[in-house]
Amino acid sequence: MTGTHPVTQEEVMAWLDGELPAPRAAEIAAHVAACADCGALADELQSVSRRVAGWTVEPPPSELQAGAHGAIGSIAVTPHRRSRHRPALLAAAVAATFAVAILGPLALRPMHRDGQANAISVGLPAATPVPDLVYHDSLRALGYVSAAKGSQSSLAPPPADQRMIARTVTMSLTTERFDDIRTALERATAAEDGSVVSLSSGGEPRRRTLRATVRVPAARLEAALAAFRALGVLKHESLATDDVTDRYRDLTIRISNARVEEQRLVELLKTRTGTVKDVLDVEREIARVRGEAERMTAEAEATRNRATFSLVTLEIAETYRAELMPAPGDLPVLTRLRNAFIDGLGAAELSVVGVALAVAQFGPTLVAWSLLLALPIWWTARRLRAFVERS
């Protein structure tokens, strides 16, 4: 019983049989006396016990006895002394069976009225434990990987005195040996057990550039940086750090808790039974918990890799050298002169057209204002001239 019922059906049965300690028996007796539902359940159980105690087992028919003796043949059966407790044990077993089968719905009515529903129905008997081999085969058929064997994460939180620092370095260099820079960079990276993450090159002749991102072990970062500095002339270098210790430790703890929850759900699915809906609910919860654990595991591994390996971004530019002769890929001199002359004609045409468009757009406005202001300006100028002559 859940919700407002602090005792279970099994505890009520144990209390009636006198199998509980005195303090717990007193608590259940007080609750049964105050709760109408539990009182009705206790009365029903006592009624079933009384009816079962009055049952008698009829002797088998004589034909059945004769057939049994004939099948046994000459096998000697050693007589045993009849136990005086056998009728009581038989009555208790029959009473428990009928109590579960008949009174299960009666015990469930208060739970449904309170809006509570058990994940596994108490009215159904517990399932027989499934052997491990059959159980794991059934999980694999459902698309699961057994949480008990092989799926535990190897991630562990770092020691308390060890910090996990993720380092990212940016370098800018110039080199005169740009044709060999890619090979030299790959050789220097491989010498420090690193790997090239990305690499791209571009630019104009004599102004080529290369951009690369490499990953090297954090323990060999300084040696790798020294090798990269030797590739050319260092122009700029920066280092950024990020302490990921707390983030990684939090992820490992959450993963461990998720694995424990998954294991408990798997054991529940393995040793218990219920309605189809209950089983499907447990399977969906297992899938959800497992998916969350796998997501956190991937995030923790990525965080650990950030501290285990450092990223170095390099920008390498070719040292510019002015030369009289055109560089490979440049246009001939006559072609460039022709293009310049044609570009000049185009610019002149655009300027003439622009002036003509400006005159056409603003000319009428200027003429109109000139006509309007001509008479006032003429009269004002005449008055000023007369004033000057009189003076």
Residue at 348: amino acid letter? A
Residue 212: per-residue pLDDT: 95
Measured distance CA(146)–CA(267) in Å, rounded: 11
Tokens coding 305: 């890799």
pLDDT digits (tens, 9 = 90+) for 134-144: 444 444 444 44
Q: Is 19 exposed, middle or buried (0-12, 13-18, 19+ CB in 10 A)?
A: exposed
Residue 217 burial by Cβ neighbours in a 10 Å radius (0-12, 13-18, 19+): middle
CB 213 within 8 A of CB 150: no
Q: What is the pLDDT of residue 198?
A: 93
Q: What is the pLDDT of residues 123-178, one digit of tens each?
A: 333 333 434 444 444 444 444 444 334 444 456 666 666 889 999 999 999 998 88
Sheet strands side by side (includes 207-217): 195-204, 207-217, 309-318, 165-175, 233-243
- The rounded distance, in Å, linking the Cα atoms of 83 and 3 is 43
pLDDT of residue 76: 44
Amino acid 343: pLDDT: 92
Residues of the chain with pLDDT below 50 are 2-3, 71, 74-86, 100-103, 105-153
